[in-house]
Structure 1
Amino acid sequence: MGFTLWFTGLSGAGKSTLSMHVYLEIRRRMLKAELLDGDLIRTNFSSELGFSREHRDLNVRRIGFISHLLNKNGVNSVVAAIAPFEEARQQNRTLLDNYVEIWCKCPLEVVESRDVKGLYARARAGEIKAFTGITSPYEEPVGADIVCETDKETVTVSVRNILEWLEDRDFLPKVENCKRRDYSKHDEESWRQRLAELGYAKQR
């Protein structure tokens, strides 16, 4: 039985960055894993959904079910998705036997200052409707297993804390106790580029 790591938090809080680092390390330790990026899943499994609460929860349910299927077959799932509502996140915990919720905690003013895509500015200007943190709520997790304060911690510190938590609870073998292989971000991006060329992902 595999496990699911679910990175939740506001847009710009560090979910994609941390999940990628942790996912790569899982692969390097010779474990089966898949990275389920929120944008990639929406494109291929939930493109008909909008951003109402009902549709957001349905999207989270779909990702949770995909994770369940992966876990049942021994594949670990690493998810980077906002999942703004507590009820949907609790549903994940009920469905998934080995569910680890990782809250990328970061104040709104900080994620807005990082706004490299200009999404918060567009939401403030009314160009994006139902944007989490501005015109749609983000319910802070009440029982996250791991909290990464990404406005205070470096990526290195956050990743180390996550890996140590997983090692201490036997989700991951310690580095000194396992074989390792080379697996880099370049390997993952090559695969993503192939998906983009075939129309399954956005070009980066």
Structure 2
Amino acid sequence: MSMFCDAEADKLREIAAEGLRELDRKFQNTILNTCNEVDAEGERALKRLDADAARFRMRIEESKAQAEASARDSELLEQSIFEARNERLFFKNLYTPAKAKSPPRTAAQAQQLQQELQAIRDVAADSFGSSYRRLLYGALSIVMTSALWSTATAFTSGNPIRWSKVVIYLAILGCIFMQFWFESSQTSSATANGSVSEAETSKKDDKK
């Protein structure tokens, strides 16, 4: 009878060990797939940000070219006025006009630049605060918490556990929380900047 009980106990232990190994394999596959999805989403977000930054740089270059063209036109106009005014003067060469400086940035141009910068911040905030990534972080946090709970249950029931695996689970969970906090702070900062910019714009409009 004792031998039969020992054999049955060995079978049960083997079944439990096999179940734990299968659960571990499924858990590792889930983590790998989740990390791959997070990496792919991050790459897509970075590509979108790069495209927006390229468009913004192109707009800045176009604005700079327009400002330089306006400065050249102003200089030519001043030179024409100078020549027409001194056409019949004897000492016409004694007076030389001052060099035309680049025109200062107007309030409308500064406001347009501020709006473009705010648009890029809004794009970054939307990429960081997307509901898909938040859902992904939540699912991964639930998986990690479930793994830690099962490990704690096994420890309380007297089964041996691998402490290195517990440390890895805790480290991954901590990284998830830190990343979620960082993205939430980025989103809040972008929203606050947008509110401040809108308030400044409304004040300027009221003054006008």
The TM-score, its normalising length taken from structure 2, stands at: 0.20
**Which of these two proteins has the greater Rg computed from alpha carbons?**
2
Q: Hey, which of these two has a bigger chunk of strand by percent?
A: 1
The TM-score, its normalising length taken from structure 1, stands at: 0.20
